[in-house]
Amino acid sequence: MELSRFGQRFARYSGIIELMDDLGDALSENPDLIFMGGGNPGRLPEVEALFQQRLDDIMADPNERHRLFGIYQSPQGDLPFRQDLARFLHQQFGWPVGPEHIAVANGSQSAFFVLYNLLAGEMADGSRRRIHLPLTPEYIGYRDQGMCDDFFSATRPTIDHLDDNLFKYRVNFDAMELGPEVAAACVSRPTNPSGNVLTDGEMEELDSRCRAAGIPLIVDGAYGLPFPGIVFEPATPLWNDNIVLALSLSKLGLPGVRTGILVAREEIIQAYTRANTIVSLACGTLGPLLARELFRTGEILDLSRNHVAPYYRHSANEAVEEFRRQLAGLPFHIHNPEGAIFLWLWFEGLPITSRELYQRLKQRGVLVVPGEHFFIGVEEDWPHQRECIRVSHAQPSDAVRKGIALIAEEVRAAYA
């Protein structure tokens, strides 16, 4: 079969495809694998019970049931949902947001594909513009979303060495340039894969620099603020008319409903909605119907603060202590766990690549993600890229401890 340029670009194998293939294998076909790879959230009984009750309420109401199954929603997303979400954001944070500033997507992955290619790539005047990543490593799912090559640029971080085998990436503002070739800057907060939470000061500086450059700042809050709130350090939600805030219901425990949310100025939302109508026609209704009441009552914040964030804070602390015990004596570093559902491990001077370590661990029955996939837009050769792995701590603690023991065995064997 002969494929078009589009087909050749998007049908090729990539890091995100490998990650999702591993996820499907671990969760569906080979449940004995210890899944410490992708971003599937943990199972929280209190959260599941809440959504079960909401689903029962929907199914018991003929009008709601018909709304779920029987009608198309607006391409911009269910209007009552957008109204309740806008009211929530205005009441809780004082943001001047109305339903016209919100669009719903069939998952944030598809939202980023449309958003990125609206802003960057080949321009009408023949020039080419990029998405700039101020902090790398960044989310693996961004890498292959551009419709052309050379779609991303990035600024290498500075690295702070902390006590107790911890380290932290920081935005290197001295090295960051937002020239005319940059269409937008994008950060995830918490950062996927490292769990880094950019400080309020870093966010304000990024916002200021993007405004000065005349470009939007995209903030991927899939794990962050204001929900699901998987943030362990003090941090303030940030939005204004130059910020595109991307949110998701997945890490609340609803990855299967594929509901992403964009909050942006009306001009961007209108352009996004028109493009998304061509790509997706309309958005699914299950996620908005399940979550609408949470925003109307403000219960979404209680759910995040009292159930979701504490679960992952506890599992992160447990995993860090277990890695310290199992890896004692080796040249390892763990990124300070400030949020999200991962640990980011750096094995300084690792004699094999993280890709080879991933393959060895897969043979042992434990799945991680090799680090080199995450250094998007870094053009120079940097050995650090091949010395890191991302490890999820979202699964039950017994499985996580078993997986950590196997990781430690293979790392020791590699150094030996």
pLDDT of residue 280: 84
CB 56 within 8 A of CB 65: no
Q: Please determine, for residue 14, whether its predicted confidence score (pLDDT) is greater than 70.
A: no
pTM: predicted TM-score of the whole model, two decimal places: 0.93
Question: What is the mean pLDDT of the segment spanning 131-160?
Answer: 93
Q: State the Cα–Cα distance between residues 280 and 273, nearest whole angstrom.
A: 10
The more confidently predicted of residues 65 and 191 is: 191
Q: Per-residue pLDDT tens for 240-256?
A: 999 999 999 999 988 88
Tell me the chain's radius of gyration from C-alpha atoms: 21
Contacts of 203 (CB under 8 A, 6+ apart): 189, 219, 238
**How far is it, in rounded angstroms, from Cα 139 to Cα 195?**
11
Give DSSP secondary structure letters for 53-76.
HHHHHHHHSHHHHHHHHTSPPPTT
Domains in the chain, please, with CATH? 5-47+303-415 (3.90.1150.10), 73-298 (3.40.640.10)
What pLDDT, on the 0 to 100 scale, is given for residue 200?
Answer: 97
**pLDDT for 193-221, tens place per residue?**
999 999 999 999 999 999 999 999 999 99
311-345 pLDDT tens trace: 999 999 999 999 999 999 999 999 999 999 999 99
Instruction: State pLDDT tens for residues 291-308.
Output: 988 999 989 999 999 999
Q: Band of the pLDDT at 90, cuts 50, 70, 90?
A: very high
Query: What are 369's strand-pairing partners?
Result: 390
What are the CA-CA distances from residue 297 to residues 63, 102, 237, 377 (Å)?
Answer: 21, 19, 19, 42
Q: Which residues of 283-317 are buried (b: 16+ CB within 10 A; e: fewer)?
A: bbbbbbbbbbbbbbeeebbebbeebbbebbeebbe
Instruction: Report the share of the chain in percent with pLDDT over 90.
Output: 73
